[in-house]
Chain A
Amino acid sequence: DAKTTQPNSMESNEEEPVHLPCNHSTISGTDYIHWYRQLPSQGPEYVIHGLTSNVNNRMASLAIAEDRKSSTLILHRATLRDAAVYYCILFPRGSTLGRLYFGRGTQLTVWP
């Protein structure tokens, strides 16, 4: 299983942009990059995913390096509600197994 490396924790002030990095140097050409987050006392929540191109949705943006060995989740304006653990996960395209491997993730603290 391809591994990802994320910082243990990051901090941000409210209404500032947040860039959450993820290294995945052993990624294969068919691995999707997924991001989930887990708010306190809740189940993980899907945020965004991509393969090669940068992706945007209502929650965040995903910037993928040209060599795909790293990616960055971008929260354009952090709010207090964005304080959570963020997980970067690789998922093989076409896999018949639904296995998501959650690492330790990055604990994001947002200060008012």
Chain B
Amino acid sequence: DAGVIQSPRHEVTEMGQEVTLRCKPISGHNSLFWYRQTMMRGLELLIYFNNNVPIDDSGMPEDRFSAKMPNASFSTLKIQPSEPRDSAVYFCASSLTGPSNQPQHFGDGTRLSIL
């Protein structure tokens, strides 16, 4: 079975450019999560969708970040304009409906470098 698929795996771009990260969750999963991992802050949740609806976006750092889930099989995380401090590894995860005993399945991440 295919796991969570993220693209691109690596992205290097210049400050000020728009960056779009993509995620395809596991088929049948109805919860989707975007995380960011840095050495300083560790792994932190940015936003969480349930049935394509954003439930908790309190982790989104600022208005430069936006996330969408137009359908059950696709989500995007967009940064516009990008800044060097946005450099991190971004993970997407999915799970069945949000009850606490459902494990989250993570993709391999997008390593983002903003120059």
Residues of A at under 8 Å CB distance from B? 32, 34, 36, 38, 41-46, 49, 51, 87, 91-104
Contact = CB atoms under 8 A, between A and B. Distances in A.
A32 B101 contact: yes
B104 A100 contact: yes
Contacts of A96: 50, 55, 98
B108 interface: yes
If over half of A's interface residues share one DSSP class (helix, strand or loop), that class is named, otherwise mixed; here it is loop
Nearest to B102: A98
A71 B107 CA distance: 27
Contact of B106 (A34, A45, A91, A95): A45
A95 B100 contact: yes
A38 B106 CA distance: 10
23 contacts: A32-B100, A36-B104, A42-B106, A43-B108, A44-B91, A46-B105, A51-B101, A93-B101, A94-B99, A95-B99, A96-B50, A96-B55, A96-B98, A97-B48, A97-B55, A98-B33, A98-B98, A100-B45, A100-B104, A101-B45, A102-B44, A103-B42, A104-B42
B48 to A, nearest CB: 5
Measured as residues with beta carbon below 8 angstroms from the partner, the interface class of chain B is 20 to 34
A99 B46 CA distance: 9
If over half of B's interface residues share one DSSP class (helix, strand or loop), that class is named, otherwise mixed; here it is strand
B48 A99 contact: yes
B67 interface: no
Contact of B95 (A45, A94, A98): A98
Given A102-B42, A103-B42, A43 B99 contact: no
B55 A98 contact: yes
